[in-house]
Amino acid sequence: MARNTVQPQLMTGDVVPVLWLCGPPGVGKTAVGWEIYSELIRSGVQTGYVDVDQLGMCYPEPAGDPGRHRMKTRNLNSVIAGYRAAGARCVVVSGVVDARQGVHRDELTQVALTVCRLRADEEQLAQRFVGRQGHDGGLAQALQEAANLDAGAVAEVCVDTSGLTVADVARQVHDRVNGWPWLSDLQGPLSAAEPVHGDSVADDPGAGVDPDGRVLWLCGATGVGKSTIGFQVYLKVLGAGLTAAYIDLSQIGFCGPTPADHRLKAHNLAALWRTYRDAGAQALVLVGPAEDESALAVYGGALPASAVTVCRLHAGRDTLTSRIMLRGQGRGSWPEPGDPLVGKPTAHLLSVAGQAAQEAEALERAAIGCRIDTDGYTIAEITDMVVARTGWPGQLPARHA
């Protein structure tokens, strides 16, 4: 593979430099993207990160958008707008692109985009894919996608990751994408940014049209199982014949080193839900923390036309500790991009568990939402309890093509 480099034009004002790492499943897009994002925030550059695959969790997919690539790019544009308003000077994106058409650049506004494709030799890609999945189901499709990407021209620069560590690949990307804003001219104090309000999405197409529909929000303390249970509920909704979407609030709020607040996540939530409603979604399963009624109000302001049901998962100290220790060992239900617990030492995980127990106690006092006790129950049992206790999503008619 020939060495190639690009020197993207650094933009100023309202235009945000965006680096999109693409490639076949298993090549390491998320790991490398997170490494670059972490490097930037350690350097003091206010930076956003998003895994674009998190921006298209809406099924069945629209007939005219196979792979939901246009949907994902439209949502990405909204998330970048939120990060821009929160002061981000650049955004790192990881995720798949259409091997035939590349990025739907017509969906992106106020963005200076550089696409970097990651590849690997077939043998190594297969090894990584199976290692991540734990089985070879879908491997043939992943290898075919890799071949299609190798044959296409979807990126300005390509980095061969064969035989390299994540840190090595990040350095290769750094070298090949010369002039991207990990340089010192984008470091230092940030200028004051306009605040992001949960009920304002003025930068987004269709702003002012409040999405309606049914929303189930699963909240609770760190480690209680919000994402695990939420996704199982989502699968049940799809199984009932509904067009439905799934959003994890943590995945649309990566912006640092100044952390994202509820207003930024609410801004991005409203924009994504609008896109999903336009695609025919009737129901949304939402997961993420809410510490009190004021936090709920921020998100409620972003979704004023939607019927929102809040369900609070609860667990005691021992259960929370056990679940957090499993996540630290990489044995959680799914490999969450940017999971802050994976690989952390035992002492740190125990500290997080103690804080989670305090969160759970505070949520008990606040008594928000419909409470579901998860101690001693399996994932399937908790999922059934959530559906039974909330009556969600109710008697919505199935949509037919």
Q: Which residue is listed with tokens 């200076």?
A: 112
pLDDT at 70 over 60: yes
**Of 258 and 395, which is predicted with more confidence?**
258
Give backbone dihedrals phi and psi of 327, rounded to 5 degrees, phi first.
-65, -40
Q: Do domains 16-176 and 214-242+282-390 have the same CATH topology?
A: yes
Where b means 16+ CB within 10 Å and e means fewer, 213-234 reads: bbbbbbbbbbbbbbbbbbbbbb
Cβ atoms of 80 and 140 within 8 Å: the answer is no
Q: For residues 32 and 44, is the Cβ–Cβ distance under 8 A?
A: no
| Per-residue pLDDT tens digits for 331-342 | 665 566 667 777
Give the model's confidence band at 67: pLDDT under 50 very low, under 70 low, under 90 confident, else very high: very high
261 vs 75, higher pLDDT: 75
Nearest to 115 by CA among 107, 129, 105: 105
Q: What is the pLDDT of residues 132-189, one digit of tens each?
A: 777 888 899 999 999 999 888 889 999 999 999 999 999 999 999 876 765 544 444 4
CATH architecture of 214-242+282-390: 3-Layer(aba) Sandwich (3.40)
pLDDT of 231 > 60? The answer is: yes
Residue 298 DSSP SS3: helix
Res. 197: pLDDT tops 80: no
Contact assessment for residue 1 and residue 305, using Cβ atoms and an 8 Å cutoff: no
Q: Which residue has the higher pLDDT, 394 or 334?
A: 394
pLDDT grade for 191, boundaries at 50, 70 and 90: very low
Mean pLDDT value of segment 368-382: 95
Give the domain ranges of the chain.
16-176, 214-242+282-390
Instruction: Enter the pTM of the model.
Output: 0.87
Measuring CA to CA, how many Å separate 144 from each of 24, 118, 184, 225, 254?
9, 15, 40, 35, 32
Q: Flag whether pLDDT at 291 surpasses 50.
A: yes
The chain-wide mean pLDDT, for the chain, equals: 86
pLDDT at 248: 96
Query: Alpha carbon of 26 to those of 91, 138, 271, 324: distances in Å?
Result: 22, 11, 29, 25
Per residue in 13-64, pLDDT (tens digit) is: 578 999 999 999 999 999 999 999 999 999 999 999 999 999 999 999 998 9
pLDDT at residue 396 greater than cutoff 80? no
CATH 3.30.70.360 fits 16-176, yes or no: no
pLDDT band at 259 (very low <50, low <70, confident <90, very high): confident
- pLDDT value at position 198? 34
The answer on pLDDT for 216 being more than 50 is: yes
**Is residue 75 pLDDT above 70, yes or no?**
yes
User: Which DSSP state fits 2?
Assistant: -
* Cα–Cα distance for residue pair 158/31, rounded to 1 Å: 16
Amino acid at residue number 257: P
